[in-house]
Amino acid sequence: MTDKYDKAIEILSDDPGQIKQAWQNIASHPAGCLFNMVPGIHACLTQIKKGLGKADHPLAIRVRGDERIPANEKDITIEMLPMFAEYQREFDLLREAENDEQI
């Protein structure tokens, strides 16, 4: 089944020059969903890799240790997009669980 992340990968694969735009405009770019902030950290994957966000958060520790994630958005390639989608799908599940707990 195709989801919004698959569609975002398709958009950016068709025009890789939009990767930086999508990263900079997550709310308005049709592929920006790949670069949403990590729940509980308030930074995206590349920002966490740079050392931003809550350093002691378990997700931040995991992200910083993931060698597939670049520390600079300029280094994001088409080949990396499925990995970004993988993380975002996981974060969606975390957001859903947090919302269920608040009800």
Predicted local distance difference test score (pLDDT) of residue 96: 87
Phi-psi domain of 64 (left: phi exceeds 0; alpha: psi -120 through 50; beta: other): alpha
State pLDDT tens for residues 57-100: 998 999 999 999 999 999 999 999 999 999 999 999 988 887 76
CA gap 59, 45 in Å, rounded: 10
- Would you mind telling me the total number of residues written for the chain in this entry? 103
Predicted local distance difference test score (pLDDT) of residue 101: 65
Report domain extents, the chain.
4-95
